[in-house]
Amino acid sequence: MRRLATLGALAALVLGAALGAALFATPASAQPVNVRDDNGQEVRLARPARRVIALAPNLVELAYAAGGGAALVGAVRYSDDPPAAKKLPRVGDAFALNLERIAQLKPDLVLVWQSGLPERQRVQLRALGVPLYESEIRRVDDIATTLQRLGVLFGTQPVADAAASTLMQRWQGLQARYARRAPVRVFYQLWQQPLMTINGEHLIAQAIDACGGVNVFAALPTLTPTVGWEAVVQADPQLVASARVDDDSRVPPGRWPELTQIDAVKHGHFALVPGEIARMSPSFFDGAQALCEAIDKAR
């Protein structure tokens, strides 16, 4: 465990240095730039973006990591990572955007979460005449790819590429360390009422796989399915994991204490991991490492 902690600390140190440099990166040139977003649309800018609004917390974090922090002029509620993001003007939240405020900030690029943006708001944003970059991260590798694309749009490719490389090395290190170890049946709790979990396509499920775990509901067809407590009992997970909601919690909320026939409950194998594991950004890797360590303890 001491060796794992040392490796994690080194990785965090390298990434922290890269992110620190990213906060102060400046665009390399004023030449036209273009990339394709996750919607397959080409995003063309006459020069690297100078005034950017990010409409999802993970996109704010990615923008800073890619070296574009100095270009950010607006963000949505709960955009708090890195700490500098807390000072950005707010332009709404996941439920409503302040289009007037967005127009006042005069962005030359808006970063949006594709599946989290209603079509009506997409049309309204396009009516402002501002280029949109639509992000839809489905795989862990997509986090690195998004960093690289944002580096092109910000004109900060060296910083973005370095950050992407550091994250992927960390991911490959987790896979190499844990993937071949004895499998552990894992139930990941997204919510307790109704009881919700994840299928095999979810980003968190990819972390479970990388850690040598087996997602007990991987085969379900929807990304975040609702399941019954009886189904969980039948699946008999060896570890129950969930996002940490406060520092005092030891067990996820729900009926767990009474379900002593479940292996995880019987042996007290619960894991409360950093909530950022659900965020499609560099913070995901901190959560993934914590989950790997929890799965390893449950072996």
Q: What is the pLDDT of residues 21-67, one digit of tens each?
A: 445 455 556 799 999 999 999 999 999 999 999 999 999 999 999 99
**For residue 249, what pLDDT is reported?**
73
Average pLDDT over residues 198-203: 97
Q: What percent of the chain has pLDDT over 70?
A: 89
d(C-alpha 181, C-alpha 177), whole Å? 8
**For residue 6, what pLDDT is reported?**
40
Neighbours of 39 (CB within 10 A): 14
d(C-alpha 29, C-alpha 15), whole Å? 25
Is 17's pLDDT higher than 80? no
Average pLDDT over residues 203-225: 97
Q: Do domains 2-171 and 182-298 have the same CATH topology?
A: yes
Residues paired with 239 in a beta bridge: 186
What is the overall mean pLDDT for the chain? 91
What Å distances lie between residue 143 and 58, 88, 124, 135, CA to CA? Answer: 10, 23, 27, 10
Q: What are the structural domain ranges in the chain?
A: 2-171, 182-298
**For residue 94, what pLDDT is reported?**
79
pLDDT digits (tens, 9 = 90+) for 146-167: 999 999 999 999 999 999 999 9
Mean pLDDT highest for which of 19-23, 72-76, 95-99? 72-76
| Sign of the four-CA dihedral 196, 177, 282, 209 | negative
Tokens matching residue 184: 């552990």
Is 234's pLDDT higher than 50? yes
Is 12's pLDDT higher than 60? no
Q: Which CATH architecture group holds 182-298?
A: 3-Layer(aba) Sandwich (3.40)
| Residue recorded with tokens 């943006």 | 117
Average pLDDT over residues 222-237: 97
Is 263's pLDDT higher than 90? yes
d(C-alpha 157, C-alpha 154), whole Å? 8
Is 204's pLDDT higher than 60? yes
d(C-alpha 123, C-alpha 232), whole Å? 42
Is 289's pLDDT higher than 60? yes
- pLDDT bucket at 176, cuts 50 / 70 / 90: very high
Residues paired with 38 in a beta bridge: none
pTM of the model: 0.87
Is 213's pLDDT higher than 70? yes
**For residue 101, what pLDDT is reported?**
97
Exposed, middle or buried, 277 (CB in 10 Å: 0-12/13-18/19+)?
buried
To the question of domain 2-171 being in CATH 3.10.290.10, the answer is no
pLDDT digits (tens, 9 = 90+) for 97-134: 999 999 999 999 999 999 989 999 999 999 999 999 99
Please list, in sequence order, all residues whose beta carbon lies within 8 angstroms of the beta carbon of residue 99, skipping any fewer than 6 positions away: 124, 125, 128
- pLDDT bucket at 182, cuts 50 / 70 / 90: very high
Neighbours of 100 (CB within 10 A): 8
